[in-house]
Amino acid sequence: MFEFFFKYPATVFSKGQFVLLSAWPAWVLGLAIIAIAVGLGWNIRQRRGFLTGTRPVAIWLLETLLAALLLFLLWHPAISIATLRPQQNIVSVLIDDSRSMSLKEDGKTRLEQATSGLNGGVLDGLRKRFQVRLYRFGKDAERIDKTDKLTGAAPASRLGDSITAALADSSTLPLGAIVLLSDGADNSGGIDRNTIAQIRQRQIPIHTIGFGKEKVDRDVEISEVTLPARTLADARLAAEVTFRNFGYAGQKAKISVRDAGKVLATQEVTLKGEGSPQTEQVQFNAGIAGAKSYQFLIEPLAGESNTANNAVTRLVNVEGAKPRILYIEGEPRWEFKFIRRAVEDDRSLRLSTMLRTTQNKIYYQGFEDKKETEEGFPAKPEELFKFAGLVIGDVEANYFTPTQQELIREFANRRGGGVLFLGGRETLSDGGYQRSPLNELLPVKLLDRKDTFHRDPAKFELSPQGRDNIICRFDEHADRNVERWKKMPVLADFQEVGDAKPGAVVLAELNASGKRKSPYRPYARDVLGAVIALAGERLAGPRDGVDAENRARRRDQSSTSRRGAGQKLQTAV
Amino acid sequence: MMRRRILTVAGIAIFGCLTLMQAQRSYMPFHDDDDSPAPLPYDANEKTEWAFARLIYPSGRFYGTRGYATIDSPKADRQFSLGVRRLTRIHTRSKEEYISLDGDEVFKWPWLYAVETGHWTLTDDNCKKLREYLLRGGFLMTDDFHGTDEWEVFLSGMSRIFPDRAIVEIENSDAIFHVLYDLDERVQVPGLVNYPFHKTFEKDGVVPHWRAIYDDRGRIMVAMCFNQDNGDAWEWADSPRYPEKYASQAFRMGINYIIYSMTH
């Protein structure tokens, strides 16, 4: 109806701009209307005759409105609308060529629906008025001349990148609009704010045509997998797998990680709320060195409509180089031996140790270059920075010179090295660290007193953060891992520390009889380095090092304590 | 009548012999006080990283008085502990600990010393426990056994602990001889019975041996001081009559063995 009367649809008018086409300015119109209103008023006042009450006012008002309308029309009012000029503007048509477009719905794939629509008159209609550029896109946008080049086989659809590429391709041309045909299944992280801002800046309208159902009846889809791009051989990796489900809430699903078809880990999960993203951590062993393509798969569920979106692959560079770790120990201790044994079994690390056996003698192990053992603890960046991790055992702060203390701080802050503090009777609070530059590195506040080290049994409990953190994982399955922690032997000694500093994560807490709960394994990762303090630590038990080893092995045929030691050092790297 | 006379003569002879033996003992310049309860050090109960852990094993009776496992104890143990405390940074307890193979207590003591192992009579359970202990990272130092016969007795026990592992001579280049003190030049450390030490061996154990059993990674699990008596050297190191060179080596050897066991 609106169009019948006003020729154009209401949307056109809403987008248009009102203008007066008369050469005379608009203020003259206003002035003329006022002048006529005044003149008419004066005239009626002089000649009102028998008219009384409101009648002369109403007559004046009607006359004034009529005169104002006539004057307004004399000023030639109009609506100005921007419109594309035939054959002088370009319209880019982007067609999603990803695998999800090959899904069949109502007897036709989404891609077939798109092409039949385009070839059924849409393209011809566009070409009559505009120059049309066809693109297919998956990971990248690619110009095509006909729709028969579409295959529906691209592994991903990057909407943002593809629109940006199409805009860039026509940056010097009068691009009038973009028509985007897609099912919207973007599995490459969506469109970021920068891309949206970039598109908005060009002021190009994007017309979207969607395919597929807005809501899938029964489906599970992995939308994202995040894990480090590089790691060490034999290291444990924690992948965050994000997925969503439709129609399976409350049911169990199995996530598996595969490398070249070999299953590395599986994890059973309970599917949560319908359609909402759910993230689970899956841990697995990186295996031997090389470029790895890990496949993350949610095993298809009964009645699932689309199984093509159940898997995602990620590339990880598993480095063969064995980073070196420097471990300085202030006195012979049993865990020293068991840490060394743990790292001997670790294919991804090399451990160089300095042990103060007497007041004036250091016993070096794991140093191939004898020159490295001539001057004691490194005093120059080039000497210390060749190591990727540093373990500080029962060493008092003053054993290090001010230069060395500053160097250790730089090691974490500038080099990005990991530092692990083991605790002991002459270190942390008992070693004066609270008054040294090294205090800054520690993720816990140190108590300002001595006698914080106790050779008494203590039990540790995983914190909620520790439960999910890879440092505390001995088992791929979270529940089994917690059980293994509960069965771990008690620590035979521990050290009291203060609260965790802001930003630090407490992975476990110590519970010693008669003592307050103390953070154990606080962990902080700043911009570069990782710093861990073990506020009570016996990697293999204290004077009962053998016992801890024994109990760990007897329980599950593997050495949990040793594995824990290796894992901590890997984390430090 | 004749019979009574023979018994009288025999009794006098036996008494004479015992008197002679006792008389000879009194001529020794040492007081064999190793089995006397030594005064308990004031810090005997200190909780430390390391303590002298003496293995108590089944055996016959030494001169019919006590088992062989506690020979030289506690004086040797405490005097050696003093040395460890003074010469190293190991947090050391002043008092020894006796460790039996019954139960799991042994697993709390990663370094064990066993004396007179030429007299041990280990049970099957003892052998099994020791094997488990050693394979898990424990360390055993055996000492003060001499000659072919005692070696055979020792071997009969050890071969039941490790029937599948060879006993080998420790090479001079092994870390155990260098971890703190360089012990390339070694002498036979004699026991007290050798006083005045014109000879240093007992029985037919003329040549001292430092032997070992290694684990699969080449780490020593059992270190055998055969044809030597380091325990006596520790015990009598405070006596001016016991030669210093033997005492020094015994201390150095023992300390090296401890530090090796804490580093390998």
**Report for A20-34, A44-58, A124-138, B121-135: range of highest mean pLDDT:** B121-135
Q: Which residue has the higher pLDDT, B21 or A496?
A: A496
Residue closest to B197 by CA, chosen among B224, B251, B236: B236
Q: Is the pLDDT of residue B2 over 70?
A: no
Q: How confident is the model over A465-494, as a mean pLDDT?
A: 84
CB A186 within 8 A of CB A210: no
CB A254 within 8 A of CB A267: yes
Identify the band that residue A555 occupies on the pLDDT scale cut at 50, 70 and 90: very low
Instruction: Calculate what percentage of chain B has a pLDDT beyond 90.
Output: 80
Q: Domain of residue A279: give its range.
A: 219-319
Q: Is the pLDDT of residue A543 over 70?
A: no
In angstroms, what CA-CA distances link A333 with A330, A422, A534, A550? Answer: 9, 11, 15, 18
pLDDT score for B256: 98
pLDDT score for A190: 67
Identify the band that residue A542 occupies on the pLDDT scale cut at 50, 70 and 90: very low
* A454 and A399 in a common domain: yes
Q: Is the pLDDT of residue B36 over 60?
A: no
pLDDT score for A533: 56
Q: Is the pLDDT of residue B170 over 70?
A: yes
Q: What is the DSSP letter of B176?
A: G
Q: In total, how many domains does chain A have? A: 4
CB contact under 8 A, B180 and A361: yes
User: What six digits make up the tokens of B79?
Assistant: 């005097």
* A195 and A240 in a common domain: no
For residues A481 and A473, what is the distance between their CA atoms, to the nearest angstrom? 6
DSSP states along A14-63: HHSEEEE-SSS-HHHHHHHHHHHHHHHHHHHHHT-TT--TTHHHHHHHHH
User: What six digits make up the tokens of A544?
Assistant: 């009962």
* A308 and A329 in a common domain: no
pLDDT per residue as tens digits for the range A350-376: 999 999 999 999 999 999 898 999 989
Q: How confident is the model over A489-513, as a mean pLDDT?
A: 85
Amino acid at A130: F
Q: Is residue A566 part of a domain?
A: no
Identify the band that residue B24 occupies on the pLDDT scale cut at 50, 70 and 90: very low
CB contact under 8 A, A546 and B104: no
pLDDT score for A545: 36
Q: Is residue A387 part of a domain?
A: yes
* A333 and A231 in a common domain: no
* A509 and A480 in a common domain: yes
Identify the band that residue A196 occupies on the pLDDT scale cut at 50, 70 and 90: confident
Q: How confident is the model over A9-14, as a mean pLDDT?
A: 75
Cβ-proximal residues to B227 (8 Å cutoff; 6+ apart), any chain: B145, B146, B147, B188, B201, B202, B205, B206, B207, B208, B209
pLDDT score for A549: 39
Q: Is the pLDDT of residue A19 over 60?
A: yes
Q: Which residue has the higher pLDDT, A256 or A551?
A: A256
Residue B160 Cα, gap to closest chain A Cα (Å): 21
Identify the band that residue B95 occupies on the pLDDT scale cut at 50, 70 and 90: very high
Identify the band that residue A83 occupies on the pLDDT scale cut at 50, 70 and 90: low
SS3 state of residue A147: helix
Cβ burial A463-485 (10 Å sphere, 16+ → b, else e): beebbbbebbbbbbeeeebbebb
Interface of B with A in 202-231 (CB under 8 A): 217
pLDDT per residue as tens digits for the range B190-227: 999 998 999 999 999 999 999 999 999 999 999 999 99
Last residue of a domain, one of A210, A237, A253: A210
Q: Is residue A565 part of a domain?
A: no
* A330 and A307 in a common domain: no
Q: Is the pLDDT of residue A525 over 70?
A: no
pLDDT score for A539: 34
Q: Is the pLDDT of residue A503 over 70?
A: yes
Identify the band that residue A551 occupies on the pLDDT scale cut at 50, 70 and 90: very low
* A458 and A345 in a common domain: yes
DSSP states along A203-260: T--EEEEE-S-SS-SSEEEEEEEE--SEEETT-EEEEEEEEEEES-TT-EEEEEEEET
Residue closest to A204 by CA, chosen among A179, A180, A171, A177: A177
Chain B residues with CB inside 8 Å of A541's CB? 108
CB contact under 8 A, B132 and A550: yes
Q: What is the CATH number of the domain that holds A288?
A: 2.60.40.10
CB contact under 8 A, B264 and A340: yes
B258 touches chain A (CB under 8 A): yes
Torsion sign across C-alpha atoms B243, B249, B255, B257 = negative
B51: nearest CA in chain A?
A: A543
* A341 and A261 in a common domain: no
Q: Which residue has the higher pLDDT, B12 or A240?
A: A240
* A509 and A487 in a common domain: yes
Q: Which residue has the higher pLDDT, A562 or B62?
A: B62
A426: nearest CA in chain B?
A: B91
* A406 and A507 in a common domain: yes
Q: Is the pLDDT of residue A559 over 50?
A: no
Q: Of A239-253, A364-378, A382-396, A470-484, which range is least confident? A: A470-484
Q: What is the CATH number of the domain that holds A112?
A: 3.40.50.410
Q: Is residue A567 part of a domain?
A: no
Q: Of A30-34, A543-547, A563-567, which range is least confident? A: A543-547
Query: Residue A359 is nearest to which of B89, B262, B264, comparing CB atoms?
Result: B89
For residues B263 and B178, what is the distance between their CA atoms, to the nearest angstrom? 12
List A77's β-bridge partners, or say none. A20
Rounded to the nearest integer, the mean pLDDT of chain B is 90
Residue closest to A285 by CA, chosen among A572, A563, A573: A563
Q: Is the pLDDT of residue B248 over 60?
A: yes
For B32-138, where are the E strands, in sequence order?
53-56, 61-62, 66-67, 97-100, 111-115
Residue closest to B219 by CA, chosen among B101, B145, B127, B137: B137
A459-462 and A505-511 as β-strands: parallel, antiparallel, unpaired? antiparallel
For residues A483 and A467, what is the distance between their CA atoms, to the nearest angstrom? 11
Q: Of A91-95, A446-450, A469-473, which range is least confident? A: A469-473
Q: Is the pLDDT of residue B37 over 80?
A: no
Identify the band that residue B1 occupies on the pLDDT scale cut at 50, 70 and 90: low
CB B99 within 8 A of CB B109: yes
CB contact under 8 A, B104 and A547: yes
Residue B214 Cα, gap to closest chain A Cα (Å): 15
* A305 and A333 in a common domain: no
pLDDT score for B246: 98
pLDDT per residue as tens digits for the range A32-50: 999 999 999 998 888 877 7
CB contact under 8 A, A337 and B264: yes
* A345 and A315 in a common domain: no
Q: Is residue A46 part of a domain?
A: yes
Rounded to the nearest integer, the mean pLDDT of chain A is 84
Cβ-proximal residues to A261 (8 Å cutoff; 6+ apart), any chain: none
Q: Of A287-296, A460-469, B16-25, B184-193, which range is least confident? A: B16-25
Q: Of A232-236, B123-127, B153-157, which range is least confident? A: A232-236
Q: Which residue has the higher pLDDT, A404 or A158?
A: A404
pTM of the shown model:
0.68
Instruction: Calculate what percentage of chain A has a pLDDT beyond 90.
Output: 37
Q: Is the pLDDT of residue A547 over 60?
A: no
Q: Is the pLDDT of residue A528 over 60?
A: no
pLDDT per residue as tens digits for the range A263-276: 999 999 999 988 88
Last residue of a domain, one of A21, A52, A80: A80
Query: Residue B262 is nearest to which of A336, A359, A361, comparing CB atoms?
Result: A336
Q: Is residue A270 part of a domain?
A: yes
Q: Is residue A161 part of a domain?
A: yes
Most A CBs within 10 A among B107, B177, B180, B251, hence the mutation to make, goes to B107
pLDDT score for A121: 87
Q: Is residue A265 part of a domain?
A: yes
Q: What is the DSSP letter of A155?
A: S
Q: Which residue has the higher pLDDT, B197 or B9?
A: B197
Identify the band that residue A62 occupies on the pLDDT scale cut at 50, 70 and 90: very high
Query: Residue B263 is nearest to which of A344, A363, A546, comparing CB atoms?
Result: A363
Altogether, the residues listed in chain B come to a count of 264
CB A474 within 8 A of CB A560: yes
Identify the band that residue A305 occupies on the pLDDT scale cut at 50, 70 and 90: confident
Is the backbone peptide bond immediately before A378 cis, with ω within 30 degrees of 0? no
Q: What is the CATH number of the domain that holds A473?
A: 3.40.50.880
For residues A536 and A30, what is the distance between their CA atoms, to the nearest angstrom? 87
Last residue of a domain, one of A290, A319, A348: A319
